[in-house]
């Protein structure tokens, strides 16, 4: 990838696994034809030559054919003074397949409206990256390892869209 453009981080060398034991399907997912190990991480090589991890491939949102990194949206939302935590996910859309939706937890004692957060993003992001919907969260769905369960958030969006 060119400098400054996100792509999947891959490794190859003597220290990389040859594959999964007795699991050729998993091996084919993890290693390409030239034995590059696909990490599933998104990275950007900066002008300084350093690699910066910016997200996960699984956390990409496909908006009308464009790939949008959830981490980019979350990073912008976290710049807003009232935002404590933010998670961006893809929300089903009949025209674009997916659009960006954001779940936001506000800092204690701070206030912001959904419209203010969308406008904040509109000033800093390309229009197709701006969340079409913002939902406030006080308690996050977590895994046992303490990670936010993004799929639960996506399910909540689908349930809310289906209900009258």
pLDDT confidence of residue 147: 86
Residues in Cβ contact with 100 at an 8 Å cutoff, skipping those fewer than 6 apart? 61, 63, 68, 73, 88, 89, 90, 91, 129, 130, 131, 132
CA distances from 153 to 6, 50, 102 (A): 25, 33, 9
- Positions of the chain with pLDDT lower than 70, given as ranges: 161-164
At 114 the pLDDT is 97
2.40.37.10, 1.10.3720.10, 3.40.50.620, 3.30.300.30: CATH of 58-162: 3.30.300.30
pLDDT of amino acid 71: 87
In CATH terms, the superfamily for domain 7-49 is Luciferase; Domain 3 (2.30.38.10)
Q: Where in the chain is the domain with CATH 2.30.38.10?
A: 7-49
User: In the 8-state DSSP scheme, what is residue 51?
Assistant: E
Q: Taking the C-alpha atoms of 23, 26, 29 and 31 in order, what is their torsion angle to the nearest 10 degrees?
A: -60
Q: What confidence score (pLDDT) does residue 162 get?
A: 62
C-alpha to C-alpha distances, 36 to 1, 22, 25, 39, 87, nearest whole angstrom: 15, 19, 15, 9, 30
Predicted local distance difference test score (pLDDT) of residue 51: 92
pTM of the model: 0.73
| pLDDT for res 7 | 84
**Cα 98 from Cα 154, distance rounded (Å):** 11
Residues 6+ apart with CB under 8 A from 109: none
Domain with CATH 3.30.300.30 in the chain: 58-162
């Amino acid at each position: 990838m060119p400098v400054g453009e996100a792509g999947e981080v891959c490794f190859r060398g003597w220290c990389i696994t040859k594959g999964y034991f007795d699991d050729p399907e998993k091996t084919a997912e993890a290693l390409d034809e030239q034995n590059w190990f696909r990490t599933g991480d998104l990275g950007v090589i900066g002008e300084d030559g350093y690699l910066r991890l910016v997200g996960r491939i699984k956390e990409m949102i496909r908006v009308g054919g464009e790939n949008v990194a959830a981490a980019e949206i979350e990073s912008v939302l976290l710049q807003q003074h009232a935002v404590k935590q933010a998670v961006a996910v893809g929300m089903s859309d009949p025209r674009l397949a997916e659009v960006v939706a954001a779940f936001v937890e506000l800092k204690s004692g701070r206030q912001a409206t959904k419209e203010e957060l969308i406008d904040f993003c509109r000033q800093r992001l390309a229009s197709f990256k701006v969340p079409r919907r913002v939902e406030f969260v006080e308690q996050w769905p977590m895994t046992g390892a303490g990670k936010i369960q993004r799929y639960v958030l996506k399910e909540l969006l689908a349930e809310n869209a289906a209900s009258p």
